[in-house]
Amino acid sequence: MTIRFGLLGAGRIGKVHAKAISADGNARLVAVADAMAPAAEAIAAQYSCEVRSIEAILAASDIDAVVICTPTDTHADLIEAFARAGKAIFCEKPIDLSLDRVKACLKVVRDTKAVLMVGFNRRFDPHFRAVKAEIAKGSIGAVEMVTITSRDPGAPPVDYIARSGGIFRDMTIHDFDMARFLLGEEVAEVSAQASVLVDPAIGTAGDFDSVQVMLRTATGKMALISNSRRATYGYDQRIEVHGAKGAVSAENQRPAMIELATAAGYTRPPLHDFFMTRYTEAYAAEIAGFIQAVLGKAEAAPTGEDGLSALALAEAALKSVALGRTVKISEIL
C-alpha cells in the first residue's frame, strides 16, 4: 500500500521531506501547501504533485498523512485539525514553545487516536541507531553515563534566535531527546550553565550561545550535554554511552574521508558543514519509519510525549540557569 502525503510548508526542511517522500517506494507526494506560492510551486514542479491550500489538504480524500513543516506557532493547531480529520501526522519539532499548549494538543491526539510522530531526526541516523542497538544488545551492560556533544558550524540569524524560544528549546532539545533515548529512563533532575561567548548580539536578544547541561535519572544514571553555536571545523555531533560492561560511541561524519600527510602533519578535511548533508540518511529513514507507523507495522516514535518531555527538559535547563540550582522535572511537568 502506498501512503499519500500532503506536505505543509515548502521551506528548507519541507524540501528535505519532499525528497525523502518521493524517493520512498511506499509513499507518494500528492500535494504541497505554503503561504508563499512560489515555494510550493517549486516543489510541485520538481516532484509532480499539486499545490493546494491547507484547508483543501485537510478535506482531501486522497491524502493519508501530512508532514508539518510550517512555522512553530502553527504546529499545535495543525496537529489538532489533522488529528480530527483522521490523517496521520508527522510534525517537525517542537510541537509548541508552551508546555501547556503541547499538553492540550496531545490530549486531542489521544482522544482522536491519531498517529503522531515528532521530528527528532537524529534517532534515525544509522550511526546513532547502531549505538542504540549495542545498548539494546547488552554490549555495554547497564547504561551509566551519557555524553553528548553538539556544536553548530555557526549561529543562525539573531532574528531567528529571537523567535526560537532560546538555545535550550531550539538546539539542545535534540540532545535532550537523544539523552532520553540513550538513557532509557526519564530524567529527574536538570542542572545547566550558559554563557554568551560567540556573539554578544545573541546575549542582547536574551539568549545564550554556549551551554552545558547535566541530567540525572531517579536511579542515578547521568548525562552531560555540551553545546556551542560555533564550530569552525564543521557540524560536530558526537554521542558516547558508558555502561557497566563497556562504552559505545559514534564519531563525527565527514563528506570526504581522506587524509593528507605533509610536513604540517596529518590532515583530514572538515566535517559536514550543514545538518542536511550530515543527516541525509537520517531524514530518509525517519520518513520510512513514519510510513511504517502509518501502515500500522511499527509504533510511531518519537511520540508527542517524547516531544513534550524534551521541551520540559529545555524549560528545566532554562530555570536552572536562572535560579542557579538543580531543577526537578516534577517542578515542570
Instruction: Point out which residues bind a second copy (CB under 8 A).
Output: 23, 25, 46, 126-127, 130-131, 134, 139-140, 142, 144-145, 147, 149, 151, 189, 191-193, 195-198, 210, 212, 214, 216, 220-222, 224, 226, 228, 230-233, 236, 242, 244-251, 253, 255-270, 324-326
95 neighbors 307 (Cβ within 8 angstroms): yes
Q: How far is the CB of 264 from a second copy (least distance, A)?
A: 7
159 vs 258 by CB, closer to a second copy: 258
Distance of CA 172 to the CA centre of its chain: 10
Looking at the DSSP assignment, which residues form a beta bridge with residue 147?
Answer: 224, 240
Q: What single letter denotes the amino acid at residue 32?
A: V
86 vs 154 by CB, closer to a second copy: 154
Q: How far is the CB of 187 from a second copy (least distance, A)?
A: 11
Q: How far is the CB of 68 from a second copy (least distance, A)?
A: 26
- Cell matching residue 20: 525523502
Q: How far is the CB of 48 from a second copy (least distance, A)?
A: 12
Q: How far is the CB of 78 from a second copy (least distance, A)?
A: 30
108 vs 188 by CB, closer to a second copy: 188
25 vs 206 by CB, closer to a second copy: 25
191 vs 292 by CB, closer to a second copy: 191
Spatial neighbors of 28 by CB under 8 A, at least 6 apart, are 2, 3, 4, 5, 21
Q: Compute the distance between CA of residue 98 and CA of residue 100 in angstroms, rounded to an integer.
A: 5
| Eight-class DSSP state of 9 | -
- Cell matching residue 46: 520538481
41 vs 305 by CB, closer to a second copy: 41
Cα-only R_g, the chain: 20
Q: How far is the CB of 267 from a second copy (least distance, A)?
A: 4
For 214, phi then psi, to 5°, come to -115, 135
Q: Compute the distance between CA of residue 184 and CA of residue 302 in angstroms, rounded to an integer.
A: 13
